[in-house]
Chain A
Amino acid sequence: MIQNQEYIQEFVEEAKGHLETLESILIRVDEMKSNPELINEVFRAVHSIKGTAGFFGLKNIVSLSHAMENVFGEIRNGKFSIDDETADVMLKSNDCLKDLIDHVGESENMTIDSCLHDLKELLNNAGKVKAQEPSPDITVRSSEGKTITFCGSNVLMIQDGIRQGYKIYEIKLRFNRDLLNYDNGPVRLFKNIQQVGQLVDTVMDHSEINSFEDVLASLDGADNDIYLGIVVTTALDTARLSAAIQIPEKNIIPMDVKNAEVPVSESPVKCDRRDNTVKPAATVPAVKANPEAADSVKPQKITPPALSIKMEDSIRVNVQILNELMNMASEMVLGRNQLLRTLENYKKTIPGLAPILQNVDRLTSGMQEKIMQTRMQPVANVFNKFPRIIRDISKKLHKEIELKIDGADVELDKSMIEALGDPITHLVRNAADHGLESPEDREKAGKSRIGSISLKAYHEGGFVNIDVTDDGGGLNVEKIKQKALETSLVSRTEIENMNEQDVFKLIFKPGFSTADKVTDISGRGVGMDVVKTNIEKLGGSIEIYSSAGKGTTIRLVLPLTLAIIQSLIVETGGQVFALPQVNMKEIVRIKVQDSNKIEHINGADVIRLRGKLLPIVYLADIIKTAGNQKNSEAKPEVAIIIVIKIGVIRFGIAVHSILESEETLVKPLPQALKGCVCYSGVTILGDGKTAMILDPEGIIKAAKLKNSTRLMDEASADTETTNDADIEQQDLLLFQCSGNEIFALDMSLVARVEEITLCQIDKVGSKEFFQYRGDTMRIIRPEEFLPVNSEQLTAEKMVVIIPKLVSHPMGILARQIVDNVKTVVNLNTGDLKAKGLLGSILHNGRIVLLLQLYELFGLADPDHYPSESRKVSCDYQLLLAEDTPFFQKITKEYLDEAGYRVTVVPNGKAALECLEHEKFDAVISDINMPIMDGLELVRRIKDNPALTDIPVIALTSLTGESNEKYGINSGFDYYEYKLDRDHLLNTLDMALNKKNGGEIAC
């Protein structure tokens, strides 16, 4: 009989927790055999469910949990030991119990006969199996000196009480003398006790009532009575317990917890294992237990593994209240935004307003964040069910599978956690069924028989990523293509134009499956499309990484919460929109005069962003705000392009302007707008107006971007891979001096860029200086030393580029910074050759001049940068391994100038071949190189006794202490940064000196 929905819900929540505990223990059969405490734990869990279900009259739940409790009781009492078969039955019963609890309202109509039968069979077979050691009994001693021995489940309750730091009491009552006038009788008494503590056991002695005559005598006031002893554990002291249960203190006898004892010899106080009840010595009532008898027991202290007092540091709160709190906090954020917007203009005129607003702002954000945290739950809530699932699947599939779980403590919003269970289950089952090969096939492939599936949760860039990884055969691209064609999911033309990622994503198409046979695990072609839909509903995305023969990782990228998101408020066509910032990578501004930067390729507008083509979507076009206007009119003259990256798709959304960044509350779309894929919701802005929240995924669909993005990638790839050997990109700072020429300096040579006005420049003689960090620094104008145009600089504001990796830094005065680009450098050294210039490159159709900084400084300051650099007196032969022509050239120049003979090779493999045939005094090697990198090269050199004496210097762009440490640990003798000529030459001197024992040996 279900009496109160609120309490029932509480029971359901509590029971689910117990069931999780049960399941997590039941799958650890081996551990259970050796750790009796685990049996106790499952017993406690089932016992708690049974107890509360009984209170609500849930007979089926009581019956099943009772039957399970019996089995656990027999295991704990040593009647038989748990094995795989027993665990299977118990897990099945656990599932059934879970089902009953999940559908508690209908639980009375559900059938549990099969489970009850299986459990009964287990008990029937109990005697045939080897017994375990029985669990110890507990004897407690009262302050009166009386002892009581507890056994069976009562031991657990006593131990629980001790763990919680509770006190143990025996409430001694004469039934009619003490209880006859008790308000509402014994029913109320027991309820009162259960409200303030745990009723462990009762002991009743009715030896004075042997007939109706005794009953009538008792009624007439004779001494004949029933004696009742009630053992309870509670946090209350005697006085408070007395007040709570309305029983005089004299009837409440404390049992000294410190005297909790385990008898080592047979106790004179008998324990009936059949019903797990307390039996005082002989049939003497509990209150008359014989202290002398108990004293003869030699006690042994209980080992206190779990005796530490655990204070309650959490409370159970109804989720509905949290939801309401969250809604209110979200509305408060809106209110805060409106308040700040409204009072913005009064901050200066009303004294003290600014700090008040700041405080309100801070507190509102803090409160919203904390309330959000209350809804956060660890992904362990999802992950914890997988050990069981993997156990079952591995048995069914006859595969040996090891499950690794990492990051189970990462937290996500409760609604996300609840929605993640099914998608991850699909992925794990697929990984086990399709991903992992059979043990035999794995052995043939040189792998361990045991396949591995790992679940890993971690934070990355404001998202939580969940990786489901298997070390199986990986996705078979050709098989996916073939199946997709067979089932007409895509056309042949479409599939021919697909890249690997596109092919992988076919597995998310409804009805797609590459499974050769349908099993009850997977293979029906349903699941992966549901996974994708569910994850996208959560505002997340899916990425697939797969390597043939090595395995597959499916990554779920999820937002932390759905309620409030950081958005960029943008305006286009006179309308304001909120664009979630989670997928935003950068913002590019294109001025009117640079409108030619927008090109038209493959039917789409694109810009070249650091050498890659980026398709542009005009928001005005997509949302049709322009109405009857032509699209071209809707396009902004000065475009703000917000670069978005979702999975592997990268594109730009062009808007008129960006107003601000704001925390926006996501409200569901009105029914009328449900069909608009470009919107994910609606919000209210700080000024009180509503704004649609844009959905970048929807914009991709609306703009049909997938194909064009792929074509862009191919076009970009064409541009970038004209020379395979030339794939490393340089990070260049582009700037203009007084003329129109564009100069470039490698970013690794730039320390800072400072803004400067003309009046900050002081002239001393013919040289110019400015104040930099409390000191003076010379400024040079490159156009004065190079064969380029030179004009009068009239701009009020200019910039000074402060270089690094030079012995005497001088600032380079420039009119403006043009851009910072990462590009492949195809250096032209023939047409524009001059001292101070390395050569030229073409970038976006314009000539860019690359500065040779040391030569330029040599021209400006020959005292510190002599044109004749130091020359080594010996004929040293150096091997330079470097894949990038730009660095090959510049490094070789330094070394040639210093008098070394240099052989240049493009990778580690070529370097090793050279070392086999020629003798070198030192090797200088880049780290990141194709075919064989520098780390492998140095390992091979140091492993070869014939080469191990040759000093090997790393010359790399990988800065930072950890990189340097890693390089040295890998075997490099020295670690130098590219373009730092002086350091490299000094290190070479040192290395060669050391190699030759400090003497010059030519």
Chain B
Amino acid sequence: MQIIIKNGTATCMAAVELTVTGINQMVADVKKALDGREDFDTICVDLSKTINIDSMGLTFLIGLYKTYSAQGKKIKLTGYNDALFDIFKIMKFDELFELSK
């Protein structure tokens, strides 16, 4: 997962598939890029490439939220397609994340 920190925002570029097979790597990438850094207050997960998500992918997003919101960070999901948006609404992710296409 490519992560860029700029202007107080850490942008995480999610892969095409946000599924069980990539979770370990994604967790490792995020922790490596963000842990110990204080120069950001927002994490923005860019889902514009993502076309497939499974339950573990959703769990990863919740894990990301729980980990960093506890540190006072704001978590945004952006660039998602309609199918992802539908599932975010059903799962009430709008209560956790800031959703922005």
Chain A contacts to B: CB under 8 angstroms? 1, 54-55, 57, 175-176, 179-180, 182, 185-187, 190, 199, 202, 204, 206, 209-212, 214-216, 218-219, 226, 228, 275, 277
Q: Do A215 and B23 have beta carbons less than 8 Å apart? A: yes
Q: Do B53 and A185 have beta carbons less than 8 Å apart? A: yes
A212 to B70, CA, bound (A): 12
Does chain A have a CB within 8 A of B58? yes
A-B contact pairs, 28 of them (CB 8 A): A57-B82, A175-B59, A180-B55, A182-B54, A185-B19, A185-B57, A186-B53, A186-B58, A186-B87, A186-B91, A187-B84, A187-B86, A190-B87, A206-B62, A209-B59, A209-B66, A211-B67, A212-B63, A215-B23, A215-B59, A215-B60, A215-B62, A216-B24, A216-B27, A219-B24, A226-B55, A226-B58, A228-B91
Please indicate the chain B residues that have their CB under 8 angstroms from the CB of A210 in the complex. Answer: 66, 70
Q: Do B86 and A190 have beta carbons less than 8 Å apart? A: yes
Given contacts A175-B55, A180-B20, A202-B90, contact A187 B66 (CB under 8 A): no
Does chain A have a CB within 8 A of B49? no
- 9 additional A-B residue pairs with CB within 8 Å, beyond A185-B52, A186-B53, A211-B63: A176-B56, A180-B56, A186-B58, A186-B91, A187-B86, A204-B91, A210-B66, A211-B66, A215-B27
A962 to B87, CA, bound (A): 71
Partner of A204, one of B30, B86, B92: B92
The 6 closest A-B pairs by CB, nearest first: A215-B63, A185-B54, A179-B55, A175-B55, A210-B66, A212-B63
A182 to B95, CA, bound (A): 25
Please indicate the chain B residues that have their CB under 8 angstroms from the CB of A218 in the complex. Answer: 56, 59
Please indicate the chain B residues that have their CB under 8 angstroms from the CB of A202 in the complex. Answer: 90-92
How many chain B residues touch A (CB < 8 A): the figure is 32
Chain B contacts to A: CB under 8 angstroms? 19-20, 23-24, 27, 30-31, 52-60, 62-64, 66-67, 70, 82-84, 86-87, 89-92, 95
**Chain B nearest Cβ from A222, distance in angstroms:** 12
Q: Do A212 and B54 have beta carbons less than 8 Å apart? A: no
A176 to B20, CA, bound (A): 10
Given contacts A202-B90, A215-B23, A216-B24, contact A186 B55 (CB under 8 A): yes
Q: Do A186 and B54 have beta carbons less than 8 Å apart? A: yes
Partner of B66, one of A176, A182, A190, A206: A206
A160 to B55, CA, bound (A): 31
**Chain A nearest Cβ from B72, distance in angstroms:** 15
Given contacts A175-B55, A176-B55, contact A226 B62 (CB under 8 A): yes
A1 to B80, CA, bound (A): 13
**Chain B nearest Cβ from A809, distance in angstroms:** 87
Please indicate the chain B residues that have their CB under 8 angstroms from the CB of A1 in the complex. Answer: 82
A186 to B59, CA, bound (A): 12
Nearest B residue (CB) for A185 = B54
A185 to B86, CA, bound (A): 13
Given contacts A176-B55, A187-B87, A190-B86, contact A212 B31 (CB under 8 A): yes
Please indicate the chain B residues that have their CB under 8 angstroms from the CB of A190 in the complex. Answer: 86-87, 90
Nearest B residue (CB) for A178 = B55
A214 to B65, CA, bound (A): 12
**Chain B nearest Cβ from A57, distance in angstroms:** 5
A185 to B51, CA, bound (A): 12
Please indicate the chain A residues that have their CB under 8 angstroms from the CB of B20 in the complex. Answer: 180, 219
Q: Do B54 and A180 have beta carbons less than 8 Å apart? A: yes
Partner of B59, one of A176, A199, A275: A176
Please indicate the chain A residues that have their CB under 8 angstroms from the CB of B63 in the complex. Answer: 209, 211-212, 214-215
**Chain A nearest Cβ from B48, distance in angstroms:** 14
Please indicate the chain A residues that have their CB under 8 angstroms from the CB of B67 in the complex. Answer: 211-212
Please indicate the chain A residues that have their CB under 8 angstroms from the CB of B87 in the complex. Answer: 186-187, 190
Please indicate the chain B residues that have their CB under 8 angstroms from the CB of A176 in the complex. Answer: 55-56, 59
Given contacts A180-B55, A190-B86, A215-B23, contact A209 B62 (CB under 8 A): yes
**Chain B nearest Cβ from A621, distance in angstroms:** 69
Q: Do A212 and B64 have beta carbons less than 8 Å apart? A: yes
Q: Do B23 and A219 have beta carbons less than 8 Å apart? A: yes
Q: Do A277 and B60 have beta carbons less than 8 Å apart? A: no
Please indicate the chain B residues that have their CB under 8 angstroms from the CB of A215 in the complex. Answer: 23, 27, 56, 59-60, 62-63
Given contacts A202-B90, A202-B92, A206-B66, contact A212 B30 (CB under 8 A): yes
Please indicate the chain A residues that have their CB under 8 angstroms from the CB of B30 in the complex. Answer: 212
Please indicate the chain B residues that have their CB under 8 angstroms from the CB of A211 in the complex. Answer: 63, 66-67, 70
**Chain A nearest Cβ from B28, distance in angstroms:** 9
A32 to B52, CA, bound (A): 46
A180 to B87, CA, bound (A): 15
**Chain A nearest Cβ from B71, distance in angstroms:** 11
Q: Do B56 and A187 have beta carbons less than 8 Å apart? A: no
A55 to B30, CA, bound (A): 32
A579 to B68, CA, bound (A): 84
Please indicate the chain B residues that have their CB under 8 angstroms from the CB of A212 in the complex. Answer: 27, 30-31, 63-64, 67
A204 to B58, CA, bound (A): 12
A57 to B56, CA, bound (A): 26
Q: Do A219 and B56 have beta carbons less than 8 Å apart? A: yes
**Chain A nearest Cβ from B66, distance in angstroms:** 5
Please indicate the chain B residues that have their CB under 8 angstroms from the CB of A204 in the complex. Answer: 91-92
Please indicate the chain A residues that have their CB under 8 angstroms from the CB of B89 in the complex. Answer: 54
Nearest A residue (CB) for B35 = A212
Please indicate the chain B residues that have their CB under 8 angstroms from the CB of A214 in the complex. Answer: 63, 66
